[in-house]
Amino acid sequence: MHDRNVTYDVVVVGGGSAGVAAAVGAARMGASTLLLEKNPYFGGAATHSSVLTYCGFFAQQDPLLQVVGGVGNELLERLRRYGVYREPYRNPRTGNVIVPLDSELTKLALDDLVLQHRVTPLLHCQVIEVERSGDCVSTVIGYDHAGKLRISAQAFVDASGDADLSALSGAEVVQGSPEGMVQASTLVMRIGGVHPSVSLDKSIFEQAIQKAKQEGYHHLSKERGMLLRLPKSGDVLAMFADEDVDALQSAQLTKAEISARKQAWEYMDVFCKYIPGFENAYLVQTGPAMGVRETRHVLGNYILSGEDVVNGIRHDDAVARGGWPIEIHRPGKPAEYLSIKNQAYYDIPLRSLTVRGFKNLWCAGRIISCDALAFASVRVMGTAFATGHAAGVAAAYYAATKKYDVTAIRQELIQQGASI
Ligand SMILES: Cc1cc2nc3c(=O)[nH]c(=O)nc-3n(C[C@H](O)[C@H](O)[C@H](O)COP(=O)(O)OP(=O)(O)OC[C@H]3O[C@@H](n4cnc5c(N)ncnc54)[C@H](O)[C@@H]3O)c2cc1C
């Protein structure tokens, strides 16, 4: 893009799970669509923080129940063609169903998906300002090494994970719960050289960490964390190094990243010392960036609640389904779960993807309008694909008609293969 002053039908800010789905959904309606991302690749937390398992594509129900179709499913099919996805994995203890990922092939699949649908990708560009005209956003200002770019559109989707676009637009946003609490951030560790016979039973690691704490290791947070063996490499992903941080602020994030890296090295020491099979283990990578679970949420025309989630409530204006249980991460504590009624799913209404006071702005992914308990479920990436897809279609429909028509948006989503 040589022109520093451009216009599209739809602009999507943030190229994580929600943003990619939003951009593809909009482009499939014929909208000229720009997908803006500050990182060098798409995927958000999956590729930039090594969160290498898609949750939320499937409900807990047995037999298997897929609750996210559409663009998200197109990505799964692409990963299947690459030979890195066959069947999802069901945890026999919890019933949770996940899709383990390969980081590099996920980046490639997302590039292919975006290009195949003629979305214009723009990486290495951060949105830093917004211009509005009454109750509409008119232009976003992106920033790269050459300076500012002015990007105008008929409709916008905020898929930034931090509600940057909404906050910059002056929309109502809240940070964390009403008490201002946010879920823990975690620096993911990728560990190589672990003997294939090592069991990833959480209690083995918990005992080792407790012993280490008694013996004077004092920079460890979580005792019971998530562990996963990656396909192909056999590397182990370990999510232990928690930090309680306001991740909107670089000064706080700096302290947290440095502290979490120190934790990661201390965890390595402990695992190698106390867990048989870790003798030759080494730290392949942290991050790259700290995994941030929660910052801002948008206030929309409906606030999805924890009650909606656990009771599997249906809505007339449903545009997506959530099938992941409520999963709460308090800093340093094990995850707490609350299941959805009948291990099934709940509806996500279009009203919770709107941004109060704005006509041409939608939100998607972990920032949608919801309370703290509902957030603990909707935040996962499978569900982010579903809300992103819906927000992209709603934005493209608005760009073409200047209307908000739930029936037409639902019809289009069904035609694009979404499960609603
Ligand atoms: C440690 C950890 C473990 C987790 N475990 C799981 C799990 O196992 N499975 C699961 O499904 N979910 C998990 N989650 C939750 C999940 O990763 C996120 O909630 C999810 O990624 C949200 O998707 P999103 O598209 O809304 O946001 P993100 O994935 O955060 O993507 C947002 C994108 O927007 C970009 N962006 C932000 N601001 C701007 C800007 N101003 N300009 C341009 N670009 C911008 C960012 O660079 C980013 O790429 C975990 C999260 C964490 C932190």
Q: Tell me: the pLDDT tens digits for 80-120?
A: 999 999 999 999 989 999 999 999 999 999 999 999 999 99
Same domain, 143 and 239: no
Same domain, 248 and 391: no
Same domain, 382 and 270: no
Return the SS3 of 306: helix
Ligand 1 closest atom vs CA 42: 49
Same domain, 150 and 240: no
Q: Is the CB of 385 under 6 A from ligand 1?
A: no
> What is the distance between the alpha carbons of residues 396 and 42, in angstroms, rounded to a whole number?
21
Q: Whose alpha carbon is nearest atom 5 of ligand 1?
A: 51
How far away, in angstroms, is 179 Cα from ligand 1 center? 23
CATH number at residue 12: 3.50.50.60
Ligand 1 closest atom vs CA 367: 26
> What is the distance between the alpha carbons of residues 40 and 89, in angstroms, rounded to a whole number?
29
pLDDT of 2 higher than 70: no
Ligand 1 closest atom vs CA 185: 53
Out of 293, 295, 324, 363, mutate this one to test ligand 1's pocket (max ligand atoms within 8 Å of CB): namely 293
In the predicted model, what is the mean pLDDT of the chain? Answer: 96
Same domain, 272 and 389: no
Mean pLDDT for 412-420 is: 98
Q: Which H, E and C letters describe 68-132, residue by residue?
A: CCHHHHHHHHHHHHCCCCCCCEECCCCCCEEEECCHHHHHHHHHHHHHHCCCEEECCCEEEEEEE
| Cα atoms found within 13 Å of the Cα of residue 126, Cβ hemisphere only | 10
Q: Tell me: the pLDDT tens digits for 192-227?
A: 999 999 999 999 999 999 999 999 998 999 999 999
Q: Is the CB of 350 under 6 A from ligand 1?
A: no
Q: Whose alpha carbon is nearest atom 13 of ligand 1?
A: 380
Domain contains 224: yes
Domain limits at 205?
185-286
How far away, in angstroms, is 198 Cα from ligand 1 center? 30
Q: Is the CB of 410 under 6 A from ligand 1?
A: no
Do 224 and 238 contact (CB within 8 A), yes or no?
no
> Sorting pLDDT into bands at 50, 70 and 90, what band is 239?
very high
Domain contains 145: yes
Q: Angle at which helices 103-116 and 17-27 pack, to 10 degrees?
A: 20
Same domain, 106 and 14: yes
Strand partners, 147: 144
Same domain, 325 and 366: yes
Q: Tell me: the pLDDT tens digits for 260-285?
A: 999 999 999 999 999 999 999 999 99
Same domain, 155 and 205: no
What is the C-alpha radius of gyration for the chain, rounded to an integer number of angstroms?
21
Out of 24, 380, 383, 389, mutate this one to test ligand 1's pocket (max ligand atoms within 8 Å of CB): namely 380
Q: Is the CB of 384 under 6 A from ligand 1?
A: yes
Which of 286, 314, 329 terminates a domain? The answer is 286
Q: Is the CB of 72 under 6 A from ligand 1?
A: no
How far away, in angstroms, is 241 Cα from ligand 1 center? 18
Residue type, 167: A
Do 36 and 15 contact (CB within 8 A), yes or no?
yes
Q: Whose alpha carbon is nearest atom 19 of ligand 1?
A: 379
Which of 286, 320, 354 terminates a domain? The answer is 286
Q: Is the CB of 38 under 6 A from ligand 1?
A: yes
Same domain, 269 and 125: no
Do 36 and 71 contact (CB within 8 A), yes or no?
no
Q: Tell me: the pLDDT tens digits for 313-368?
A: 999 999 999 999 999 999 999 999 999 999 999 999 999 999 999 999 999 999 99
> Sorting pLDDT into bands at 50, 70 and 90, what band is 178?
confident
Dihedral angle sign, alpha carbons of residues 321, 327, 330, 331: negative
Domain contains 247: yes
Question: For residue 275, what pLDDT is reported?
Answer: 97
Same domain, 401 and 307: yes
CA 354 from chain centre, in angstroms, equals 18
Q: Please calculate the CA angle 176-182-187 and round it to the nearest 5 degrees.
A: 140
Domain contains 364: yes
Which of 261, 286, 311 terminates a domain? The answer is 286
> What is the distance between the alpha carbons of residues 394 and 80, in angstroms, rounded to a whole number?
29
> What is the distance between the alpha carbons of residues 395 and 418, in angstroms, rounded to a whole number?
16
Out of 160, 185, 378, mutate this one to test ligand 1's pocket (max ligand atoms within 8 Å of CB): namely 160
> What is the distance between the alpha carbons of residues 81 and 83, in angstroms, rounded to a whole number?
5
Same domain, 155 and 18: yes
| Number of domains comprising the chain | 2
Proportion of the chain above pLDDT 70, given as a percent:
100
Domain contains 420: no
Enter the tokens of residue 232.
């192909």
- Candidates 99, 102, 104, 111; CA nearest to 15 is 111
Out of 11, 13, 17, 257, mutate this one to test ligand 1's pocket (max ligand atoms within 8 Å of CB): namely 17
> Sorting pLDDT into bands at 50, 70 and 90, what band is 177?
confident
Do 298 and 306 contact (CB within 8 A), yes or no?
no
Domain contains 70: yes
Domain contains 345: yes
Same domain, 138 and 23: yes
Do 340 and 309 contact (CB within 8 A), yes or no?
yes
- Candidates 363, 400, 312; CA nearest to 67 is 312
Domain contains 236: yes
Residue 131, φ and ψ in degrees, nearest 5: -115, 135
Q: Tell me: the pLDDT tens digits for 179-195?
A: 889 999 999 999 999 99
